[in-house]
Homo-oligomer: A and B are copies of this chain.
Amino acid sequence: MAMTGVLRPGHAQLRVLDIEESIAFYTDVLGLKAAGRDAQGRAYFKAWDEHDHASVILRQADHAGLDFFGFKVLDVATLDLLEKGLQAQGVKTERIPAGELMATGERVRFTVPTGHTLELYAHKERVGNGLGLVNPDAWPDDLKGMAVTRMDHCLLYGPDIDGTRSILEKALDFALVERVKLEDGETDLAIWLTTSTKAHDIAFVRHGEPGKLHHLAFKLDTWEQVLRAADIMSKNKVAIDIGPTRHGVTRGLTIYFFDPSGNRLETFCGGYDWYPDMDTIKWTWDEVGKGIFYHARQLNDRFLSVVS
């Protein structure tokens, strides 16, 4: 099979300050579907066009941010193989037992040099996208809010992005799709990595403090849906960071905004398809503004400094 190894981002566990307020936000405004709560009080959600049990888990805490970000892999044999690959790169791994996350199999957890906790897993209960597998309609009837179609990727901030990249490339076969160079023309300020044909499945920005979340991104189908999402933010007094606009990097069309706890989220559409015979695109320091915000062509301070 042409798609093997690590398939895609599968789940993200976010910290929120008020779980009930957040549940309302993620279901009514973002339009995720509630998928249950566990004994710890964590709340589970899936986007409508995802087939697995849940992709977003919210945990109440006293500060916002990302607990961990997990990738689904092809099967259990792949999970074992990739764990060995991580260990061969000197990465310490931990097994989290099946069921610790609802409807989810055993996970291999590890920490990357940027200070983030990543996970791999092979099983999560398939619940379908609500359309069925026989004569499905094009979309379901019960959509709410922005009605994002899937949890798509995240952008993480931390110090040693080179070390993290090395692990993702060497142990997990991620590929470097785009990069932004610092003024020296050598050092990467930011890197976008893929494990599939998406222009990015995960990305990193060099940053002094480890383990930070810049944003968690959700996919929409069209530029008109991005507009509709922006309208919904306005109607619900959601704090918008920037957008609607285009990224130079990946060409995606985007809005950044904040959940009630201050976690930055993105809804976006577009971006090109990536294949392993493609070359890495480079953005130079003098054009980093255009790379990040293609229309404004300049970074705002918030982009580089506000993380959770």
Chain A interfacial positions (CB closer than 8 Å to B): 1-8, 49, 51, 72, 74, 126, 133-139, 141, 173-175, 195-198, 221-224, 227, 230-231, 233-235, 237, 240, 243-246, 248, 251, 253, 255, 270, 272-273, 275-284, 287, 290-291, 294-297
Contact = CB atoms under 8 A, between A and B. Distances in A.
Contact of A136 (B222, B246, B248, B276): B248
Given A136-B281, A137-B234, A244-B245, 14 more contacts: A3-B3, A7-B277, A49-B272, A72-B277, A74-B276, A133-B279, A133-B280, A135-B248, A135-B287, A137-B248, A138-B231, A138-B234, A139-B231, A141-B235
Nearest to A5: B2
B295 A244 contact: yes
A240 B74 contact: no
A240 B280 CA distance: 29
B138 A251 contact: yes
A284 to B, nearest CB: 6
A295 B3 contact: no
Contacts of A243: 295
Q: Which are the 5 A-B pairs with shortest beta-carbon distances?
A: A135-B287, A1-B173, A2-B5, A2-B195, A230-B295
